[in-house]
C-alpha cells in the first residue's frame, strides 16, 4: 500500500506532453485521444506555459468554438497550480480539491518534470482508506 504521505514523485507521470499554442482544438483533441492522456501543456511563443485538458476542449466546443479556428492558446489556463516532487500525495490532493483542478504539473528547479492527475492520486487514497477501515 502506498501511504498518502508518499512523495508525489512516486505516483506522477514522468514528463509531460507539450503542444504548440497554434494547435487547433481539433488537433489538440486528437493528440489527447491518441496518447490517451487528459491534459497537455501549451507552449506559448513568449515562453509562457499553460495547460489544457479534455474538459477544456469539450467546454469550448459546447460553447460553440469552431474546432478548426480556435487555438490551444485560446483555451489554455495560464495560472497553473503546481507542486514539487517531494510534496506528499495528500498535500497535492488537498490542493487539487481546493483549487478545483484534476491535473497538477510537477516542477523541479523551475522545470516541469511530470504531471499528476486524479487518476494517479485516487488509488493511493482509496488504498489508505481501505487499510484504515
Residue 1 confidence (pLDDT): 59
pLDDT tens digits, one per residue of 44-92 = 888 889 999 999 999 999 999 999 999 999 999 999 999 999 999 999 9
Query: Does residue 74 sit within a domain?
Result: yes
d(C-alpha 90, C-alpha 128), whole Å: 11
Inside any domain, residue 109: yes
Q: What is the mean pLDDT of the chain?
A: 94
Containing structural domain, residue 51 = 8-132
Residue 19 domain-assigned (yes or no):
yes
| Residue 51 in domain | yes
Per-residue three-class SS string for the chain:
CCCCCCEHHHCCEECCCEEECCCEHHHHHHHHHHHCCCEEEEECCCCCEEEEEHHHHHHHHHCCCCCCCCEHHHHCECCCCCECCCCEHHHHHHHHHHHCCCEEEEEECCEEEEEEEHHHHHHHHHHHHHHHC
User: Quick check: is 127 in a domain?
Assistant: yes
CA–CA dist 50, 78 (Å, integer):
4
Q: How far is the C-alpha of 103 from the C-alpha of 17, rounded, in Å?
A: 13
Structural domain contains residue 1: no
Total domains, the chain: 1
* Tens of pLDDT, residues 85-132: 999 999 999 999 999 999 999 999 989 999 999 999 999 999 998 988
- pTM score over 0.85: yes
Q: What pLDDT does 16 receive? A: 87
Residue 14 sits in a domain whose CATH number is 3.10.580.10
% of the chain residues with pLDDT over 70: 99
In-domain check, residue 3: no
pLDDT band at 2 (very low <50, low <70, confident <90, very high): confident
Could you tell me if residue 2 is inside a domain?
A: no
Amino acid at each position: 500500500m502506498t501511504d498518502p504521505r508518499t512523495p508525489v514523485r512516486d505516483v506522477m507521470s514522468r514528463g509531460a506532453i507539450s503542444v504548440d499554442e497554434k494547435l487547433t482544438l481539433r488537433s489538440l483533441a486528437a493528440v489527447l485521444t491518441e496518447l490517451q492522456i487528459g491534459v497537455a501543456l501549451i507552449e506559448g511563443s513568449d515562453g509562457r506555459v499553460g495547460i489544457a485538458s479534455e474538459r477544456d476542449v469539450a467546454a469550448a466546443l459546447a460553447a460553440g468554438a469552431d474546432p478548426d479556428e480556435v487555438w490551444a492558446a485560446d483555451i489554455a489556463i495560464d495560472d497553473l497550480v503546481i507542486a514539487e516532487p517531494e510534496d506528499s500525495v495528500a498535500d497535492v490532493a488537498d490542493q487539487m480539491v481546493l483549487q478545483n483542478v484534476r491535473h497538477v504539473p510537477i516542477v523541479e528547479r523551475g522545470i516541469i518534470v511530470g504531471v499528476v492527475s486524479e487518476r494517479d492520486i485516487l488509488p493511493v487514497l482509496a488504498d489508505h482508506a481501505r487499510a484504515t477501515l
